[in-house]
Structure 1
């Protein structure tokens, strides 16, 4: 059920970003500034409260860092995504693959039309909602597959839930 929790957290965070950017007509920079101000004020108030109550809270900056493998994985994923996009656009631009060319043109035309009809924040929020639904559906399929395996008499030790 960890994937469902991630999906719900993403959906709630995305909803707050959507509200801030779409309905309040504020920028992403304004959103980040507001979040940092709220976090800074909250930490300052908690620090003052803990100091008044003589509670010591050890803060280890190493706990806030990500591992080198995680950082390398993030950069590799980003590089692969950009590289794949660039490769598809290069092949489409040469005109050798007419089918790919028309797929790219149609996709770009649809995105252009969507951009004229609705704001980019709305499109991003709709994409986030679809991604969260996909995560929940994928998790429910694996969950139902585990239930089916248990009903068919598979050993419980083989299931990793």
Structure 2
């Protein structure tokens, strides 16, 4: 039986992600530290807190079973993640190849404009600042979609075909 994470079961997830993103931004952008330094700091804090809890539990004679199988992901999940990454890279490569071939002038223009804007953005702000701004935007989108009363309904424009008829074959 698979468990699906829904908005009703995890309403505070965007807030947790936003707090973690703020800490990453502070560590990388404000303190000018690297991601390697951040990962090492997080692992040190986790190791020390687990050691303190282990000593506390040992003093109180509490036995905590440690099951390493709980930390593993299934082969199916690993395959899905790898396939998603491969599809994303393949789609990006395909779009850039078609744009570079010159057969689709609109696609070439769109790719050129987007890459130029990303280049300007990269010169104007650090990568951590851009990632932090994207995190805020994504969190706001998730929060606003969860707060709207029709969050479970599918938008009307998704139910329509290109010719204006509804997907069920009904007319406008």
TM range (shorter): 0.7 to 0.9
Deviation at 1:140, TM superposition (A): 2.9
Structure 1 outlier segments of 4+, above 3 Å: 1-4
Q: Which residue of 1 aligns with 2:129?
A: 122
Matched, 1:70 2:80: no
Distance 1:71 1:2, change over 3 A: same
Distance 1:110 1:3, change over 3 A: farther
Aligned to 2:159: none
Change (3 A) 1:102 1:3: farther
Partner of 1:53: 60
Q: Which has the higher contact order (CA 8 A, sep 6+)?
A: 1
Structure 1 stretch 56-65 or stretch 3-12: which is displaced more?
3-12
Q: 2:39 aligns with which of 32, 37, 50?
A: 32
Distance 1:90 1:146 in 2: 38
- RMSD value, Cα: 1.7
Q: Distance in 2 between matches of 1:146 and 1:26?
A: 39
Match of 2:111 in 1: 104
Match runs of 1:127-142 below 5 Å: 127-141=134-148
Counterparts of 2:86 and 2:15 in 1: how far apart (Å)?
28
2:145–2:151 Cα contact (<8 Å) kept: no
Unpaired runs of at least 5, structure 1: 149-161
Select which of 19, 36, 46 maps to 2:26: 19
Partner of 2:161: none
Whose helix fraction is larger, Structure 1's or Structure 2's?
A: 1
What is the aligned partner in structure 2 of residue 88 from structure 1?
Answer: 95
Aligned pairs, number: 146
